[in-house]
Structure 1
Amino acid sequence: MTTMADVARHAGVSVATVSHVLNGTRPVRDTTRAAVLRAIDELGYTPNTLARSLVTARTRSIGLAVSPISNPYFTEILQGVEASALEAGYGLLLADPHDDPVHERKVVQLLHERRVDGVIVAPSAEPSEMVGYLTRRSVPAVFLDRLAGDAHDQVCADNTAPMRQLVEHLADLGRTRIGLIAGLPGLSTTTERVAGYRAGLRSRGLPNDPALLAGGNSEAAGAEAATHQVLAAAHPPTALVTANNAMTIGALRALGTRGLRVPHDVALACFDDFSWADLFTPRLTAVAQPGKEIGAAAVRLLLDRLADPGRAPRTLRLPCTLAHRTSCGCPEPPDGAVTTPRPGTAPPTAPATDGRKSAP
């Protein structure tokens, strides 16, 4: 079996230098580092991670707890976390808390017991038990996508302004009855997107009708039921905004069941762009969150925390973009391009309508 001493002899350096290259414990000249890495590759040396962790008190591993892993948005976050962790020389342990506070507390404890150097968590709607565990044991942690107080590092997308932009855009197209299918109560994303929805209504002088706001619990089945609920109102909506990608699917099912066409009968815009949104007919106008960038930023925050445990917590908000297509009621661009209008504006050729059958 090839040893660290073998690598040192092959590279013409000391064993300590090889250790510094592997563990990043001291700066090494680029030429020396290259010689060590070349020797490792030529000899087929595999570091003993367990032995190294006993010496450094670090396992070079990160725990990631997000729900649901099957959601394309969280898949993008996972890709960002994994790529950044790997680049920094860290492995990844993955768990799905199922958005359940009890299970969330258990999986975070299990990750900690496996001696990860720190954890990255997308908090549930009731994260107090999980947060308490991390705080009592001084576990380095970063919360992503959803916020949970201000005692830990956090990174998320901007939620309020993009939701307001969607509502204002629909209003500028002449839709005066705009409904919202909101997410799981208690999540910071839900609270902020509802606030953006209401801000958009106020900015365009539209009424905030409680009958047009229903909770879809951040999943397709709940959104389907919620869409039926708002469509059954005495004065139903002529436009809908859904607050995540799974709920967009549920809303489309409900509209299809009722024989309502998008955007002719009900315009639709959604939070969370996803890879097949451009394949629907009509193509879905959606807010695109920077999932990979959020994941990468979470790793950077965690590594900064590991390097400086005493620094003040930071909260980062990353900007979203609007993938502007045709489900909102705008005409198809001649080249089928996806455009990004300025907040609160609509293309000059967009039809103004509040009638279910009058849009072309």
Structure 2
Amino acid sequence: MRKPTIQDVAVKAGVGVGTVSRVLNNHPAVRGVTRDAVLKAISDLEYTPNPHARRIAGGKSYTISVLLPVLTTEFYTRLLDGLEAAFQEARYDVAIFPLLDRSRLERYLGSHTLAYQADGLVMATYNLQALFHEHRLRTQQPTVLVDAYAEHVDCAYMDNVTGGRLAGEHAVKAPGPIHAIWVETELDQLFQTRVFEDRRSGFMGALAAAGRGLGRECVSSFDTLAARNTAAQLLDAVQTEPGGVPCTVFASADLLAGALLDEMAVRGLQPGVDVRVIGFDNQPWAAARGITTLHQPVESMGYEAATLLLTRLNGYRGPARARRFEPSLIVRGSA
């Protein structure tokens, strides 16, 4: 049997080929009834668009480039899930470019690399405000930031200051010393993120408002072994101090909170009693471990960023839009 064509879909739906094409491209200028008829015809005929013909006919790649710091963390896996859900609905492919270090970011700032041959560009997490002001990101295609904020560009971002404040407001409810473990971030201004700086700002503000001070501050790289070593150092200090336990620790990422719980188990310390632990992220495994944490709607943030970019690709020419997402506190046994 020959494969059904776009012409077959048009005939069955009683519309022109152009209308079918607009439905396939998720163009807004199609009435709901007409769109439903075309989608039913596509389903009945089991029609699959030819991506090569689509690209040739439209003069577009139907590909979105996504520049990420890394690929190996749960946060970016969830972020990609949200981005891809929206792009797949609009029949766009996603090309992923992990940057990993400053040199790759510098290379991608050029306008002739493969990443810039897509119809649109998503850049995740980096503090790129200065780059936009300096006009170093000279892209011909629409660009959106996700998990980052900058003026004059579409962005969807998490309000980490509010997340830190909520953690602080919960920490001050309990007596005893309050400590914190922060994630070490890149010192180079071009290749850094404000995420953990903002979490610290919100947390310290909440402590100050309650008239409480912060005890020990530790810093760990975003690595399981490093996090465990940092947890051990903090607990060594806490357990040798008079009145050191019970205490509260804000671990500014769930990976740090998990490492702290592991080290506490070895020492016979009870979560929520001897040491109250507050994490941040609400990773998929956090509930099973009973971690009190800040939930981030990561998938929703990714989906919204993709939607902003798709509206640009569909003709929106208005001012830049910013979509703010707010973490929420989830209280479990660890605090």
Q: TM-score, normalization: structure 1?
A: 0.76
Identity of aligned residues (%): 28
The residue aligned with 2:119 is 117
What secondary structure, in the 3-state scheme, does the structure 1 residue paired with 2:323 have?
Answer: strand
Alignment of 1:335-346 (within 5 A): none
Q: Supply the AA of the counterpart residue of 2:274.
A: D
Offset, 1:47: 2.3
| Residue 273 (structure 2) pairs with residue 271 (structure 1) | no
Q: Which amino acid aligns with 1:204?
A: A
Structure 1 residues 45-95: Cα deviation after superposition (integer angstroms, max 9, x where no partner): 332323332333333332233344343333332222222222233232234
Equivalent positions of 1:85-100 (< 5 A) are 85-98=87-100, 100=101
The whole-number CA distance in structure 2 between the counterparts of 1:304 and 1:17 is 19
8 Å CA contact 2:162–2:327 kept in 1: the answer is no
In the alignment, the residues of structure 2 paired with residue 325 and residue 18 of structure 1 have an alpha-carbon distance, to the nearest angstrom, of 51
Distance 1:25 1:208, change over 3 A: closer
Alignment correspondent of 2:299: 292
Query: Structure 1 residues 75 and 130 mapped into 2: Cα distance closer, same or farther (>3 Å)?
Result: farther
Give the direction of change, closer, same or farther, for the CA distance of 1:132–1:197 in structure 2 (3 Å limit).
same
Q: Within the alignment, does 1:195 sit opposite 2:201 as a pair?
A: yes
What does residue range 134-283 of structure 1 map to in structure 2 within 5 Å? 135-147=137-149, 149-175=150-176, 177-185=177-185, 186-209=192-215, 212-233=216-237, 235=241, 238-280=247-289, 283=290
Distance 1:267 1:16 in 2: 61
- State the Cα distance separating 1:273 from its structure 2 match: 1.0
- Structure 2: 5+ residue stretches without partners: 186-191
For 1:52 and 1:295, locate their aligned partners in 2 and report how far apart those are by CA, in whole Å: 26
SS in 2 for 1:277: coil
| Matched letter for residue 277 of structure 1 | A
Separation of aligned partners in 2, 1:171 and 1:325: 16
The 3 A distance-change label for structure 1 pair 86 and 71 is same
Q: Does the CA-based 8 Å contact 1:101-1:124 persist in structure 2?
A: no
Q: Bigger shift: 4-13 or 310-319?
A: 4-13
Uncovered stretches (5+) of structure 1, i.e. residues with no partner:
329-360
What is the CA-CA distance between 1:122 and the residue it aligns to?
1.7
Q: Distance in 2 between matches of 1:23 and 1:172?
A: 52
Q: Which amino acid aligns with 2:201?
A: A
Length-normalised TM-score, structure 2:
0.81
- Structure 1 runs of 4+ aligned residues shifted over 6 Å read 125-134
Alignment partners' CA distance in 2, 1:239 and 1:28: 56
Q: Cα deviations across residues 12-31 of structure 1 (Å, max 9, x unaligned)?
A: 43333333333355734444
Contact 1:119 1:140 in 2 (8 A): yes
The whole-number CA distance in structure 2 between the counterparts of 1:41 and 1:87 is 15
Distance in 1 between residues matched to 2:148 and 2:225, nearest whole Å: 22
Q: Distance in 2 between matches of 1:25 and 1:204?
A: 52
Q: Which has the higher contact order (CA 8 A, sep 6+)?
A: 2
